[in-house]
Amino acid sequence: MATSINDAKRMVAASRSNGTRLAINYSRRWCSDYRLLKDRISDGVIGNLCQVYVVCGGGQLACNGSHFFDLMRFLSGSEAVSVVGFVDKRGTPNPRGPQFSDPGAYGMMFFRNGMRGFVDMYEDLGIPPRIEIIGSIGRVTVDETRNSWTIEARQGKDREERLGRYDLPLNREPLSTQPLDPQKLLEGTIAEILGDGRISCTGEDGLASLQMVMGFHVSDREGNIPVNLPLSSKYEELTVNFT
């Protein structure tokens, strides 16, 4: 959305004061399969949502990773309250050009509802993205490049057994999905901007994800300590040339 918290806040304020519509293209928000998955998670198909883990090669925590941060917020309906981050220092050239700096990173986020978020986008990885959504009695695995979505969960009376029973089997739940179509998802974004209804991913959503990205950088600069979100005002002018 922006290269500093302050600039993102200015964007939100400008759209409010001028009565304009602002959408941030975190495109999974417009994906019917992710919306259905959110509903099923809310219905308890995998129990209480405990963890979302994302691993993805290629670095670029802001340009790529912020999409996953937004997905965590979307699926959980909760906000990140702190982050611990480790930023890659190897200086891999940015594919957008030498004037840009968007290193990879790995780290952990803690959400208000108790969910834990993990991301590993370190630059020693050259593998496609994979998302694991872990619940108290089941899990969802998403491999978008293969259109492979799997739900596994306890069934029947096993759902009532104590959580320590890790020996209980997980059975597959039916889940029918369609391959992600970036053009179709972008069309959904544009249609919402041109309409007058609710926007699925607002400027406030973009700002929240940027807080998480900047939290990684602040944590790393401060010796990888836990950093509370939203960041304090002294970090709002911190600028990183992501794009």
Can you give the pLDDT at residue 28?
A: 95
Distance CA 171, CA 160 (A): 15
Predicted pLDDT of residue 226: 97
Residue 70 contacts residue 26 (beta carbons within 8 Å):
yes
What is residue 243's predicted lDDT score, i.e. its pLDDT? 86
Structure tokens at 94: 């940015």
Q: Check residue 47 and report its DSSP letter.
A: S
How far is residue 196's CA from residue 190's CA, in Å, rounded to a whole number? 12
Q: Say what the pLDDT of residue 193 is.
A: 92
3-class secondary structure, 219 = helix
Non-local (6+) Cβ contacts of 20 within 8 A are 14
What is the value of pTM for the model shown?
0.95
Q: How many CB atoms lie within 10 A of CB 61?
A: 28
Work out the number of other CB atoms within 10 angstroms of the CB of residue 216.
29
Residues whose CB falls within 8 Å of the CB of residue 211, separated by 6 or more in sequence, listed in order: 5, 80, 229, 230, 231
CA atoms within 13 A on the CB side of 239: 6
The residue with tokens 């959110």 is 38
Cis bond leading into 230, ω under 30°?
A: yes
The predicted structure's pLDDT at residue 139: 97
* Confidence at residue 176, expressed as pLDDT on a 0 to 100 scale: 83
pLDDT along the chain (243 residues), means of 10: 97 96 94 95 97 96 97 98 97 92 97 98 95 98 94 97 95 87 91 93 97 98 97 95 91
Q: What confidence score (pLDDT) does residue 217 get?
A: 98
Residue in the structure block whose two tokens are 């209980």: 168
Q: What domains can you pick out in the chain, each with its CATH number?
A: 5-151+177-222 (3.30.360.10)
What whole-number distance in Å separates Cα of residue 138 and Cα of residue 184?
31
Q: Quick one: pLDDT at residue 175?
A: 82
Q: How far apart are CA 225 and CA 217, in angstroms?
A: 11
